[in-house]
């Protein structure tokens, strides 16, 4: 006995920024961005906090799951950086929700939601939880170098959540990591009079070619391994919920695997890359649109900084 998904939720900042908006201060254009990434717009934080985004997504998921905050046994927040270095986003969210369970953050970048599912699975297998809330939240706009057109056009902000309960929807999950600085955001806090460390310039840096190759390889290897382990041919899978990093990445992987485009829903055109929140945001969109049905097979796959990846297979059982 492991878990089933009882409810999903998502939240995006109010401000939408189009590619044309970016072209007002960057040497870029809507055609340049959309033809290379599939992205048209993204949501960016203005006066909202990450905690507010996470709270909105959590509330939506709890409402769908008919679960009260006081029924939660654990809160896990996959995030690269919250509103504070400490306390954790999960602890702040716990207080805001009115829950009283253990709460912690998890940093696996864009693979964070898959890593959190695996951690949650351990709680259920050991019978230490009946309800777990996972809330992935990202504020990439506050971590970018907005003079670097090769990276700042790729990301957006958002939060995606899922409430897990006892069940047997999870059929397979696998995580990987390959230590690399191919995607990095240098950290710094405080000013020490003794600090002589040669800090890098702030903002995200990425080796685009290496990341692209890793992303396509991760999807192909992850889905093929999952298919072999579960004896479910990829042709029999109903839905593939993949990390929304770049439309070219998704198209390339789909072509290599022979997966029809209609089985790979996307939000990337309107949300851009929302890091660890992208898979639960996409899942929530699909649930609320009525596209996922009981008994269907759903494969999840994500990849990101670390370099990390995660793949899971669910037998969907949420009405």
Give me the active site residues, please: 110, 243, 273
Q: How far apart are CA 118 and CA 114, in angstroms?
A: 6
| CA angle at 131 for the pair 129 and 135, rounded to the nearest 5° | 115
Q: Which residues contact 292 (CB under 8 A, 6 or more apart)?
A: 239, 283, 286, 298, 316, 318
β pairing state of 131-139 and 157-167 = antiparallel
Q: How far apart are CA 14 and CA 254, in angstroms?
A: 32
Q: Strand (E) positions, 53-156?
A: 74-78, 103-106, 131-139
Nearest 5°: phi and psi at 301? -150, 135
Please classify residue 302 by burial: count the beta carbons closer than 10 Å to its beta carbon, then call 0-12 exposed, 13-18 middle and 19+ buried.
Answer: buried
């Amino acid at each position: 006995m492991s878990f089933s998904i009882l409810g999903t939720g998502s939240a995006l900042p109010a401000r939408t920024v189009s590619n044309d908006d970016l072209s007002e201060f960057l040497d870029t254009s809507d055609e340049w961005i959309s033809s290379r990434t599939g992205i048209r717009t993204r949501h960016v934080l203005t006066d909202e906090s990450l905690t507010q985004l996470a709270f909105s997504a959590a509330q939506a998921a709890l409402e769908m799951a008919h679960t009260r905050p006081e029924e939660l046994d654990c809160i896990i927040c996959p995030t690269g950086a919250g509103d504070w270095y400490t306390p954790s986003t999960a602890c702040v969210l716990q207080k805001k929700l009115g829950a009283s369970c253990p709460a912690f953050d998890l940093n696996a970048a864009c693979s964070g939601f898959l890593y959190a599912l695996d951690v949650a699975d351990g709680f259920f297998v050991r019978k230490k939880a009946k309800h777990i809330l996972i809330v992935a939240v990202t504020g990439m706009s506050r971590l970018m170098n907005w003079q670097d057109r090769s990276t700042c056009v790729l990301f957006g902000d958002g939060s995606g959540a899922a409430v897990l309960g006892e069940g047997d929807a999870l059929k397979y999950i696998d995580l990987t990591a390959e230590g690399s600085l191919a995607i990095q955001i240098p950290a710094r806090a405080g000013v020490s009079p003794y600090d002589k460390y040669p800090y890098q310039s702030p903002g995200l840096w990425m080796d685009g070619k290496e990341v692209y190759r890793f992303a396509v390889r991760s999807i192909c290897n992850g889905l093929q391994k999952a298919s072999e382990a579960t004896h479910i041919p990829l042709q029999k899978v109903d839905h593939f919920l993949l990390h929304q990093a770049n439309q070219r990445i998704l198209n390339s992987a789909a072509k290599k695997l022979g997966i029809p485009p209609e089985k790979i829903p996307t939000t990337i055109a309107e949300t851009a890359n929302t890091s660890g929140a992208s898979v639960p945001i996409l899942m929530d969109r699909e649930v609320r649109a009525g596209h996922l049905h009981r008994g269907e097979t759903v494969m999840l796959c994500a990849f990101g900084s670390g370099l990390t990846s995660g793949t899971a297979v669910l037998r969907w059982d949420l009405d």
